Amino acid sequence: MKFGKEFAVQMVQEWQEAYMDYSKLKSMLKDILTFKQQNKPQSTMPTAATETPKEMLKRRASLYRAFSGLTNRYKPDSSTKSHEDEVIVVSSVQEGGAEGRYQTMFLRSGEEGGELELLFFRRLDDEFNKVLRFYKKKVEEVMVEADELSKQMNALIALRIKVDNPVVGEADMVHLSDHEFSSHCSLVAHPIQGEKHGRTQMNVIREVEMDSEGISGEEMKKTDRHFRPAALNVLDHVKINVELETPISILRSVIKSSKSDMLFDRQELRTAEEKISEAFVEFSRKLRLLKSYCFLNQLAFSKIMKKYDKVTTRNASKTYLQMVDKSYLGTSVEVTKLLEKVEETYVKHFANGNHRKGLKTLRPQAKKERHRTTFLNGFFSGCSIALIVAIIVNIHARNILQSQGKERYMANIFPLYSLFGYIVLHMLMYAGNVYFWKRYRINYSFIFGFKQGTELGYMEVLLLTSGLSMLTLAGVISHLDMEMDPRTKSFRTLIELIPLFLLIVSSMLGKQREDVYERDIQQQEEGKGLNRGTPEYLAISDVSISMVTLPDFFLADQLTSQVQALRSLEFYICYYGWGNFEERSNTCGKNEVYKVLYIVVAIIPYWIRFIQCVRRLFEEKDNAHGLNAVKYLSTIVAVAARTIYSHQDEKTTTGLVLAAATSGIATMASLYWDIVMDWGLLNRNSTNPWLRDKLVVPHKGVYYVAMVLNCVLRLAWMQQVLGIQTVPFLHKTALVAVVASLEIVRRGIWNFFRLENEHLNNVGKYRAFKSVPLPFSLSLQRG
């Protein structure tokens, strides 16, 4: 792989604007090379046919020259360098007392083509100063963050002393940063109650540590004389933020003020440890990426200067790379030292001194592709295709479409199996999304907040999809066989229970391996110390959908496209709870309670999004969230009007007009929001006509096609309202399923461009890391 492609792959995508523009500088070198080739005189260089024996021997001997190392070019050789060989002079320039910037003076601008080389060095200086400013800014940010983590860690140590009552020395307190920001972090010794018991525990721990280091007991006692216990006065100015961020907790915080006389318990300690541990992991990742940023840019400047020397046959790389090495980019060691301290602190305080365990958490390995996943995916997919063929042959051979039981089958059995069809299609679209997100380097795992190395790849999503598809199709064909075979007529009850049995099996498998779109919520809840099945977990599950982070409303948006699947679940309850499933009949459609619930179930996903938008409106004071809430409210009215009209025995003109009008208004509002707000398209002043200034997909036609498809698929409701029978040979229930499937396909397309727009917003704001809530609110006073 060429360096340009490798450079693009390894860079932090959210920081891509801050990296050296290698491709632009490379294109400028191509222009210089083209100019030299067009203006050079007739070549007089000897070819292989005209080379003299002496020249040929010299060329061949160069192939066996001893390798002198990769870094020799950075060492200045003053003995061989003369004033006539100088090409550039690099100096640091102060501008009005502001931060200095580096400027290169090109000494050969008077030569032919020197203007192009002068422009190259001006652009090179701009890129280097841009990288240098960004790196300095990020280093300052991590130093401030390190200072905050030091305070949080010292508060955690004090809390451990308060809860567990051991004696910890001042040497065990944490100071990650030696920066000026942490000058006030030192703590004063404070006497501890219960010191006798605590010192006994601490002596045992310290004795084991010293014995492992070869320190005798007498030396330990001498050290113990100078041992000063750590301070607890930090807790006097600490508030523990361990409340879960749910509507219930917010209401509780409004009614009840924060605890003043806090009784520190083990639950608070455990929650604080989990939060700080997560903060250390994220901070370590940030430091590693910042270190990689520094190294990649240094390597990029080295590569581009090497290309410059090759194109122009000059020797300017030594001078420029010496400046790079002596600059802050080449001499800064803050990040490296800070990373070492972070790892040392994490191993000591969160991994019980187990170096391997601690680094395994801080340095998660990239997930490896497994051959087993590929094999099972192919096996399940092949079985699914074979079952589809078998079902088609079965239907055609037995002429099932013309049988007397067709209506009863479509009214009672088809909705049961269609539920799995909706889920399989949605997961298939998600697998496609993951594939294209990875292909176009959209950082979906960061946007969704997935823990590094735990996100599902597209092959794993396809494995779940093909497995569920195989189970569903096996149920369908067994249902048809048992129905048509005279020998199995006596097993009618067993036949009708196949979809229910399939639903139970699928639910059990889903409990073993979490659903694709719920993985983020699971990780967040696990970080809060909750276990599935506990009352606390169930309480949070009821309200967590009203959270306002992107994964929360992204999940709620998926539910709005699965309205028909939710109605199928309602039909399961009615059919097996109150229906006569043994005779394959039900009266659900005539039940008034079922009709009301049929509307309520369809409204619930839109109501959740409405509540989320209202909450964001009050929290962020952004009127756009209010408009989005109005959009979902109009959709709720439209869904209710369409459903009521479809359940009317005698269709009225008033119902038709009301359903069409409300649906039309909701559709126009949704189309505008999809394309303009969620996708960021239809920008008249964009460099790309009616699109965005920045596009991830190189083919602009894809965006226009997506906008047209979104408009067409948004109008699928017209078939139900106007009663258009577009496909005469399809049953009414099958047509409803087709329309619902088209909505799922539309949602899959929406998912890609929605996340693309979010990714570009993160890139524009250089947001490459998630914010981890810290457990302590500190107000340390300096005395």
Closest CA to 759 of 679, 687, 700: 679
Amino acid, single-letter form, for residue 702: V
More confident residue, 130 or 108: 130
Instruction: Answer whether residue 169 shows pLDDT above 60.
Output: no
Give the residue carrying structure tokens 């294109």.
Answer: 27
Sort 547 into a burial class: Cβ within 10 Å, 0-12 / 13-18 / 19+: buried
Tell whether 222 is covered by a domain: no
Terminal C-alpha separation, the chain: 59
Query: Quick one: 564 and 436 in the same domain?
Result: yes
Give the total residue count for the chain. Answer: 783
Sorting pLDDT into bands at 50, 70 and 90, what band is 361? Answer: confident
Pure H helices in 449-497: 458-484, 492-496
Contacts of 528 (CB under 8 A, 6+ apart): 244, 271, 274, 540
Indicate if 357 and 375 belong to the same structural domain: no
**What does the angle CA 214 – CA 215 – CA 220 come to, to the nearest 5 degrees?**
160
What burial class does residue 401 get, using C-beta atoms within 10 Å of its C-beta: 0-12 exposed, 13-18 middle, 19+ buried? exposed
Q: Among the three residues 334, 363, 392, which one is the final residue of a domain in this structure? A: 363
pLDDT at 779 over 80: no
Is residue 664 domain-resident?
no
384, 470 Cβ separation under 8 angstroms:
yes
Q: What is the DSSP letter of 352?
A: T
Mean pLDDT on 181-187: 37
Residue carrying structure tokens 């997935």: 450
Q: How far is CA 605 from the centre of its chain?
A: 23
pLDDT at 664 over 50: yes
Query: Is the separation of the CB atoms in 179 and 186 below 8 Å?
Result: no
- Confidence class for position 491, pLDDT limits 50, 70, 90: low
Q: For residue 85, what pLDDT is reported? A: 62
Mean pLDDT of 747-754: 95
pLDDT at 220: 47
pLDDT in tens, 202-221: 343 333 333 334 444 455 44
Whether residue 584 is found in the same domain as residue 503? yes
| Domain identity same for 455 and 585 | yes
d(CA 193, CA 164): 12
Backbone angles phi, psi at 274, to 5 degrees: -65, -40
**Mean of pLDDT values over 433-461:** 87
Specify whether 379 is located in the same domain as 291: no
Q: For residues 340 and 425, state if they share a domain.
A: no
Burial of 477 (0-12, 13-18, 19+ CB in 10 A): middle
| Residue at 699: amino acid letter | H
What is the structure's pLDDT at 672? 95
**Cα Dmax for the chain:** 103
- Predicted confidence at residue 620, as pLDDT, reads 86
CA 523, 525, 531, 532 dihedral sign is negative
For residues 404 and 425, what is the distance between their CA atoms, to the nearest angstrom?
A: 30
Helix (H, G, I), strand (E, B) or coil at 89: strand
Please, which residues have CB within 8 angstroms of residue 233's CB and are 6 or more apart in sequence? 187, 188, 190
> 169-191 as b/e, with b when 16 or more CB fall inside 10 Å?
beebbbbbbebebbeebebeebe
pLDDT of residue 419 exceeding 70, the answer is: yes
Asked, for residue 661, whether it belongs to a domain, the answer is: no
Name the 3-class secondary structure at 314. coil
Residue 746 has pLDDT above 90, yes or no: yes
Give the residues across from 238 on adjacent strands. 778
This prediction has a pTM of: 0.76
- 3-state SS string for 16-68: HHHCCCHHHHHHHHHHHHHHHHHHCCCCCCCCCCCCCHHHHHHHHHHCCCCCC
Q: Do both 549 and 464 map to the same domain?
A: yes
Sorting pLDDT into bands at 50, 70 and 90, what band is 498? confident
Q: What is the pLDDT of residue 60?
A: 55
Question: Closest Cα partner for 747 from 508, 443, 432?
Answer: 432
Would you say residue 618 lies in a domain?
no
Asked if residue 385 and residue 344 are part of one domain, the reply reads no
Residue 79 lies in a domain: no
SS3 annotation, 709-757: HHHHHHCCHHHHHHCCCCCCCCCHHHHHHHHHHHHHHHHHHHHHHHHHH
User: 580 - beta bridge partners?
Assistant: 585
Rounded distance between C-alpha atoms, residue 257 and residue 252, angstroms: 8
Indicate whether 454 pLDDT > 60: yes
Query: 167: helix, coil or strand?
Result: coil
CB atoms within 10 A of CB 295: 12
Q: Are residues 444 and 326 part of one domain?
A: no
174 found inside a domain: no
Nearest alpha-carbon partner for 605 in 445, 743, 716, 412? 743
Is residue 338 assigned to a domain? Answer: yes
Domain match, 498 and 382 both? yes
Alpha helices in 165-246 (DSSP H): 195-212, 217-225
For residue 396, the model assigns a pLDDT of: 83
pLDDT score of 214: 44
Task: Assess whether 456 and 329 both reside in one domain.
Answer: no
Please say which residue of 333, 363, 393 terminates a domain.
Answer: 363
* Domain final residue pick, 363, 396, 417: 363
User: Of 139, 138, 131, 121, which Cα lies nearest the Cα of 20?
Assistant: 131
pLDDT at 16 over 60: yes
Of 309 and 96, the one with more pLDDT: 309
Note whether 750 and 723 are same-domain residues: yes
List, for residues 501-556, the tens digit of each pLDDT value: 888 888 877 665 544 434 444 444 444 433 333 333 333 333 344 456 788 889 99
CA distance linking residue 212 with residue 694, whole number of Å = 58
Residue 45 lies in a domain: no
Whether pLDDT at 324 is above 60: yes
Q: Are 452 and 445 in contact (CB under 8 A)?
A: yes
- CA-derived radius of gyration, the chain: 34
Give start and end residues of each alpha helix (H) in 513-591. 519-527, 535-543, 550-560, 563-577
Cα–Cα distance, 328 to 142 (Å, whole number)? 16
Summarize the confidence of residues 139-157 as an average pLDDT: 89
How many structural domains comprise the chain?
2
Q: Which residues of 207-237 are buried (b: 16+ CB within 10 A; e: fewer)?
A: eeeeeeeeeeeeebeeeeeebebbbbebbee
Q: Which of 276, 287, 336, 286 is nearest to 154 (CA)?
A: 276
User: What is the domain extent for residue 502?
Assistant: 371-590+679-764
CB atoms within 10 A of CB 694: 16
Share of the chain above pLDDT 70, in %: 71
